[in-house]
């Protein structure tokens, strides 16, 4: 069976906590669409304290590579705003990816999984729309997850 080059899935939650034995607890998983408090009538930057804020946003991404083809280099997982502003990112460098790949092949595994877990605290929301997690692998972009944030009217 041929596998896709990469499969990635991101969940957005309030807290992602690492437990014993490589278990992760995801607490307060957000739905795909979150309707926030309305924007203040003046969105001037000096009124930043009045902007809606997500106090704690944990981003939990699992990216799976098949082992039936060569490694393409580093894996960069990033989270961006609707306008393309980088909010958070994590990179697995090329040497780390290759070493993990070689070990998984030696163990006879079918695929290799990379987990990126990062938290953004006190995230002010200045724009509505799709906040997206993408994976850049070998110069190709792969969709991983999306949360739509809008403002109540």
Domain segments of the chain as ranges = 7-151
86-92 and 111-124: which strand pairing? unpaired
pTM recorded for the entire structure: 0.89
d(CA 65, CA 37): 39
**Collapsed DSSP state (helix, strand, coil) of residue 98:** helix
Tens-place pLDDT, residues 75-115: 999 999 999 999 999 999 999 999 999 999 999 999 999 99
Band of residue 62 on the pLDDT scale cut at 50, 70, 90 = very high
Second CATH level (architecture) for the domain 7-151: Sandwich (2.60)
Alpha helices (runs of H) in the chain, residue ranges in sequence order: 94-106
Band of residue 143 on the pLDDT scale cut at 50, 70, 90 = very high
């Amino acid at each position: 069976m041929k596998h896709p080059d990469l499969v990635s899935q991101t969940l957005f939650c309030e807290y992602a906590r690492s437990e014993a034995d490589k278990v992760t607890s995801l607490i307060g998983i957000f739905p795909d669409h979150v309707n926030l408090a309305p924007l203040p009538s003046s969105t001037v930057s000096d009124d930043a304290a009045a902007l809606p804020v997500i106090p704690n946003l944990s981003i939990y991404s699992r990216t799976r590579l098949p082992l039936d083809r060569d490694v393409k280099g580093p894996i960069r997982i990033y989270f961006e705003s609707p306008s393309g502003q980088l909010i958070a990112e994590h990179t697995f460098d090329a040497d780390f990816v290759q070493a993990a790949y070689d070990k998984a092949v030696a163990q006879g595994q079918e695929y290799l999984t990379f987990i990126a877990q990062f938290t953004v605290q006190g995230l002010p929301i200045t724009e509505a729309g799709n906040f997206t997690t993408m994976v850049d692998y070998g110069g190709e972009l792969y969709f991983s997850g999306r949360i739509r944030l809008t403002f109540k009217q």
